[in-house]
Amino acid sequence: MRRVHAFEFNELASCPRAVRESIVETLGLGLRWGRVLDGVGPVFADFCARARCAAVLDLCSGSGEPVSILLDALARQGLQPPRFLLSDLYPNVAAMRRVAARHPGLVEVVDEPVDACDVPARHDQPARTIVNALHHLPPAAAARLVADSVARRRALFVAEGFPRSLRRMAATLPAMLAAGAVNPWVAPRDRWQKLLVTWATPAVAATGLWDAAVSALRMYSEAELRAMAAGANDYEWQYREVPFFPGGRATVFWGIPRA
């Protein structure tokens, strides 16, 4: 399937805030309830051991919820997590701080903009992660993100909830639909507005399904990821697909500088 970088409603400033936030919050709940990142936990623990990193800079963190889900997956399996610094070009500081409060001592928040393609030295760490977010970047920007990590000899860990496949994306829909129905009752703010756009209109269901399909079309294939890293011969690169129920596959691509 050819990659298509179509628009997502949750990225549009013109999309009503209640709808935009509902999509993002539903995604977080769906990833959590679907245990999409459970299989990624051991792979990430292996990455940290090989990269010998006790702290990582998370890029394009958004709300920070994907990192929280990964930390919970590690905890359930008794795996030692590193310390995370959450960062974003447009940081949602309030949401990130809620995540930090749930994981005291393990999560810190960078409250100023951080360009994932040109990371300031003052915020950098020995390793970088980007969880469920690389598909938001167009190819040129994604390649610059990889190139910046390589130029500074940082280990890089990329995880996505599914590969470029509508069938694999569909495996997340049961959890996402349940999350969408419940989200208005547990959202951190504007619950009545979110209840209206979720239950009184098809706004959240329609835009959320569109964004899910577009996310699947935006995912980078193994070949495309390896092409971005093609010049980094002094790195060890690995690509894996990790299954989750029912019939889904999360993807992982990581690179570690050779000694």
Complete domains list, the chain, with CATH:
1-35+166-219 (no CATH), 37-160+220-259 (3.40.50.150)
- At 171 the pLDDT is 95
pLDDT of residue 1: 82
Q: Within the chain, which residues score under 70 in pLDDT?
A: none
* DSSP code string of the chain: --------GGG-TTS-HHHHHHHHHHHHHHHHHTTTTTTHHHHHHHHHHHHT-SEEEESS-TTSHHHHHHHHHHHHTTPPP-EEEE--SS--HHHHHHHHHHSTTTEEE--S---TTS--GGG--SEEEEES-GGGS-HHHHHHHHHHHHHTT-EEEEEESS-S-HHHHHTTHHHHHHHHHHHHHH-SS-HHHHHIIIIISSHHHHHHHHHHHHHHHHPPPHHHHHHHTTT-TTEEEEEEEEEETTTEEEEEEEEEE--
What is the predicted pLDDT for the residue at 166?
A: 95
pTM for the whole structure: 0.96
Residue 156's pLDDT is what?
A: 98
